[in-house]
Amino acid sequence: MHSATALAALGFGASVLAQQAGTLTTETHPSMSLSRCTSDGCVAEDDSIVLDANWRWTHDTDSSTNCYTGNTWDSSLCPDGTTCAQNCAVDGADYESTYGIVSDGGALTLTLKTGDNVGSRVYLLGPESENYVKFDLRNKEFAFDVDVSNMPCGVNGALYFVEMDRDGGMSEYENNKAGAKYGTGYCDAQCPQDIKFINGIANVDGWTPSTGDANSGTGSRGSCCNEMDIWEANKVSTAVTPHVCNKSGQTACTSNSTCGVGDARYDGVCDKDGCDFNPYRMGNESFYGDGKIVDTSSKFTVVTQFITGDSTDTGDLTEIRRLYKQNGNVIQQATSDISGVSGNSITDDFCKAQKTAFNDTDSFESRGGVAAMGDAFSRGMVLVMSIWDDYAADMLWLDAPYPADADTSKAGVVRGTCAADSGVPATVESDSGDASVIFSNLKVGALNSTYS
């Protein structure tokens, strides 16, 4: 689940002609290194990060008049989605002062609240700064260090992969002239409808300002694609979750049924629930947390391995494994302690058994299960890092009893030690606006090559 609480920032400086051609720009991408590893060692690649277009100041291409203010569109600049995309520009970003995003090249810090801005979402951009880096993790592993010690209940510091277009949709959609350089083209398995421009069209049709979130709203279109959540976490709980869709690549959904809204949740293009492995939810309450086996009061390394059936880089994905390293010790993922569910990794058998044990609807297998996640990797996925709070469900699905009124003695209900009334965004933002996550030491490579 990912909400985009975006700020319509007022800013200065030259603009890019939005989803039009630009001349000048103040956009400077913070650098971020990615190490590519084999059994012989690692080689660093000089990449950078780019802020999602949804957070950017969106204004008239000819002036500084806002196209979007707070959570509403300007009706004269944006009478319809296509005209709006032609009239409006997304601007360069001041990463640190407006959005609280700081990188020293190896470590990226994201802060929950900076001024009026809430949260952020960034993508890994390749050395040429025009295209996102695409990852195929079949028969590979991805590793990073994370510091979640300043991440309380209700806040999520996420690192994950989604099947966005390499160029942010610029070559495919004529009204998108900003592209990956300006963070366009986001999609995920929630088919988010708070995205302001989807496939070169502003999401003006049916736009409904959020009642709780002063910066956000939803339109009639959503942006769907496969999503591999390696890391959704705070200092209390963590989950690793593949979500698959029955369509390849990024696609727009245009109805409640294809977007999977409300009662149609399980009819949509994508599997919104996913198949999650959260050690606490799987019955091990002493594994992850402050002072626990994986001790979230200090930094640790997270390694996620993608095993194929035939142990080749092109084989079917069959298993997703997790290990941690902290203070020199390698710590294997906790084993399920739930009756009827075995193992400490994600496989189709694990997912089926877990859905049955928790009486959850299974919308993962019907869209292809673990192998479908591998198929998405074969086409390439984009790395996302974000910090967010949750206007839809108070992050209870990650760190607390969920649903809030469910019987907590039932297996699968409790996901962490946070209270059932925790995670309310207004409270989180006023009490913990300075919450922050630090991601560092990104590495990708052959199995067992990144952490020993």
List of residues contacting ligand NAG (CB under 6 A)? 246, 256, 261-262, 267, 269, 284, 286-287, 293, 334, 337, 359, 447-448
Min dist CB 293 to ligand NAG, Å, is 5
d(CA 119, CA 363): 29
Comparing CB distances to ligand NAG, the nearer of 38 and 286 is 286
How far apart are CB 334 and ligand NAG at their closest, in Å? Answer: 4
232 counts as catalytic: yes
Compute the distance between CA of residue 203 and CA of residue 72 in angstroms, rounded to an integer: 11
CB of 279 to ligand NAG, least distance (A): 7
- Name the minimum Å distance from CB 420 to ligand NAG: 18
Closest to ligand NAG by CB, 20 or 246: 246
3-state secondary structure of 374: helix
Query: Is the CB of 22 or the CB of 192 nearer to ligand NAG?
Result: 192
Residues in a beta bridge with 209:
217
Which CB sits closer to ligand NAG, 90 or 261?
261
Element (H, E) at 396: helix 396-399
Check 27, 141, 163, 227 and give the catalytic one: 227
DSSP-derived secondary structure letter, 439: E
End-to-end CA distance of the chain: 32
What does the alpha-carbon distance between residue 232 and residue 168 come to, in Å, rounded to a whole number? 23
> Is 27 considered catalytic here?
no
Q: Is the peptide bond before 403 cis (omega within 30 degrees of 0)?
A: yes
Which residue, 331 or 384, has its beta carbon nearer to ligand NAG? 331
Q: How far is the CB of 181 from ligand NAG (least distance, A)?
A: 32
Minimum CB distance to ligand NAG smaller for 262 or for 291: 262
Q: Which among 27, 141, 163, 232 is annotated as catalytic?
A: 232
Question: What is the spatial distance between Cα 141 and Cα 197, in angstroms, rounded to a whole number?
Answer: 33
Residue 354: in which H helix or E strand, if any?
Answer: helix 348-358
105: Cβ–Cβ under 8 A, 6 or more apart, which residues? 31, 32, 33
- Rg of the chain over all Cα atoms, to the nearest angstrom: 21
| Cβ nearer to ligand NAG, comparing 404 with 447 | 447
Q: What whole-number distance in Å separates Cα of residue 214 and Cα of residue 125?
A: 29
DSSP secondary structure string for all residues of 274-321: ---B-TTTTT-TTSEETTSSEETTS-EEEEEEEEETTSSTTSPEEEEE
Distance between CA atoms of 312 and 199, rounded to whole angstroms? 35
- CA 273 to chain centroid, in Å, comes to 14
The torsion angles phi and psi of 54, rounded to 5 degrees, stand at: -60, -25
Minimum CB distance to ligand NAG, residue 265 (Å) = 10
Number of H helices, E strands in the chain: 7, 29
Residues labelled catalytic: 227, 232
